[in-house]
Structure 1
Amino acid sequence: MRDVGGFTTTDGSTVRTGLLYRSAWLADLTPEGARALTKLGVRTVLDLRDLREIDRWPDRLHDLAATTAHHPMLPQGGADHYGKPLAEAYRLITDTAADSLPALLRRLAGDETLPALLHCAVGRDRTGIAVAVLLGALGVRDEDIVDDYLLSNLGLGVLDGPQEYVDAHGVTRLTDVVGAELITGALAVLRERHGSGTGFLAANGFGADDLAALRARFLA
């Protein structure tokens, strides 16, 4: 788990800290962990996982007084997206992004959402793309977006070798080190379709007023 804030934007603003955190799933959250989230003021948990994952491994919030919201980042409908090469999975995520990301960002810009915790399963791929689009919309430089994405290699412990995780079907798989090309490739797909990251958002209903509200919420 880490704070999404702290970055400087191209216009010299700063992404506020203490508003949005990113993590892996909360299925193994302990009561002590829930108390730590309470101290951080977390009031919304934003889950990017498949409905099957949520059903099999629901978040355990204990006494955390938080609203939960579901913004799936993979196509729904029964297809098996797990075990695919990551580059292919990232392309699938970009296909879903037109529906999921504008709604997610609009929720983040709202009055009742923050501070919030954003997560998928391991907290790197779906969460990584969502955070990258958010930071891009706020005006954070691409090199900083990539650096933030690559921090998950350290957080997941994969710099010491592949780590096991369990997919939505209960199959144990391995997650390994990722490179910058995955996140830059995903962003390139979104930008090529609409000219820019903000163009992608605008084309899917997240207009200038929405963007202004998001920036007002996150930038200092």
Structure 2
Amino acid sequence: MAAMIVDEPMATAEATAAATAAAPTVPGVRNFRDAGGTGALPRGVLYRSGALDRLTPDGARTLRGLGVRTVLDLRSAPEVADRPDALGGSGIRYLHVPVFAERRWPAEQAELYPLMGELAGRPVTAAVRQLLLPEHRAVLVHCASGKDRTGVVVALLQSLLGAPEAEVTADFLRSNTALGLTGADRAAAGAAAPGHAGLPVSAVHLRRALLSVRSHHGTLDGHLLAHGARAAELAALRGAFPPRSGAAAHG
């Protein structure tokens, strides 16, 4: 498996702020950013965000302009029914591949994240298959806030393509700034979004999710094979996105 996440990212606060500031703005969408530029994953191929239920026509045009052709919605069936993505008429393909089928999950993050790591296998496999279809690139992965379920799925995809642990962690933690879950903004954000939506993400919890994957399946490839991926698909993905010059490959 790729290098595992450590408790503290090595990226500087300045680098994280610069990356967050450089993220494209999509009208009506929170926490949107390019998940590429890590490991062998290039920019402009995989994006991540919160829900698209308030996506505006200008936002849809922005997504199309960025190359987004497929949206992978990780939310539960009740969430989708309550707040469907506003993709009508955009020409963007919609796939619903939930992490949790129903709106029931552990209240404690320490319990939630290992479970999400296990249940993320099917959505990650679906994303791999879309990334192997050039006509469907780029892919946008989202949940409700784009931080927990999306964070784990994207971390697994980045790790699959050899992203170093510091880069995976830094990208994961950018959701805190994007959603106002740091410093003085945290109390207001938490009050406006009770439950997990108002909690900041933590490197420790992501580490637990990825350690759980490794402890149950030995490797990330083993995890995905157990959730329906084929070895030929994983090899094809790595062939489509070979390591960048000077970047280390991870298995």
2:228 and 2:192 mapped to 1: Cα distance? 35
**1:88 Cα deviation from its structure 2 partner:** 2.1
**Residue deviations 1:35-83, cap 9 Å, x none?**
1112112111110000100000001125421110011112x2x56227x
**1:107 Cα deviation from its structure 2 partner:** 2.8
Match 1:27 to one of 39, 42, 53: 53
**Residue deviations 1:122-144, cap 9 Å, x none?**
00111111111111110111121
| 3-state SS of paired residue (1:32) | helix
- What number of residue pairs does the alignment pair up? 208
Is the contact between residue 51 and residue 145 of structure 2 (CA under 8 Å) also seen in structure 1? yes
Report the AA paired with residue 79 of structure 2: E
What percent identity do the matched residue pairs reach? 39
Report the AA paired with residue 38 of structure 1: R
Aligned to 1:80: 104
2:63 and 2:103 mapped to 1: Cα distance? 34
| 3-state SS of paired residue (2:163) | coil
1:69 and 1:165 mapped to 2: Cα distance? 31
Aligned to 2:7: none
The change in CA–CA distance for 1:29 and 1:111 in structure 2 (over 3 A counts) is same
Aligned to 1:61: 87
Aligned to 1:97: 120
2:153 and 2:192 mapped to 1: Cα distance? 22
Is the contact between residue 43 and residue 66 of structure 1 (CA under 8 Å) also seen in structure 2? yes
Q: Are 1:198 and 2:202 matched, yes or no?
A: no
1:153 and 1:2 mapped to 2: Cα distance? 13
The change in CA–CA distance for 1:81 and 1:203 in structure 2 (over 3 A counts) is closer
Is the contact between residue 71 and residue 104 of structure 1 (CA under 8 Å) also seen in structure 2? no
Kindly indicate whether structure 1 or structure 2 has the higher relative contact order, using CA contacts under 8 Å at least 6 residues apart: 2
1:116 and 1:101 mapped to 2: Cα distance? 12
Report the AA paired with residue 95 of structure 2: A
Is the contact between residue 122 and residue 224 of structure 2 (CA under 8 Å) also seen in structure 1? no
The change in CA–CA distance for 1:6 and 1:126 in structure 2 (over 3 A counts) is same
1:31 and 1:103 mapped to 2: Cα distance? 27
Is the contact between residue 181 and residue 190 of structure 2 (CA under 8 Å) also seen in structure 1? no
**1:166 Cα deviation from its structure 2 partner:** 8.3
Is the contact between residue 120 and residue 152 of structure 2 (CA under 8 Å) also seen in structure 1? no
Aligned to 2:35: 4
More strand by percentage: 1
TM-score in terms of structure 1 length: 0.85
TM-score in terms of structure 2 length: 0.75
Is the contact between residue 34 and residue 62 of structure 1 (CA under 8 Å) also seen in structure 2? no
Aligned to 1:133: 156
Match 2:66 to one of 26, 30, 40: 40
Report the AA paired with residue 120 of structure 1: C
Aligned to 2:248: none
The change in CA–CA distance for 1:154 and 1:95 in structure 2 (over 3 A counts) is same
Is the contact between residue 68 and residue 92 of structure 2 (CA under 8 Å) also seen in structure 1? yes
2:178 and 2:103 mapped to 1: Cα distance? 29
1:177 and 1:126 mapped to 2: Cα distance? 13
Structure 1, unpaired ranges of 5+: none
1:79 and 1:36 mapped to 2: Cα distance? 30
Q: Are 1:120 and 2:169 matched, yes or no?
A: no
Give the superposed CA RMSD.
2.2
Match 1:109 to one of 129, 132, 140: 132
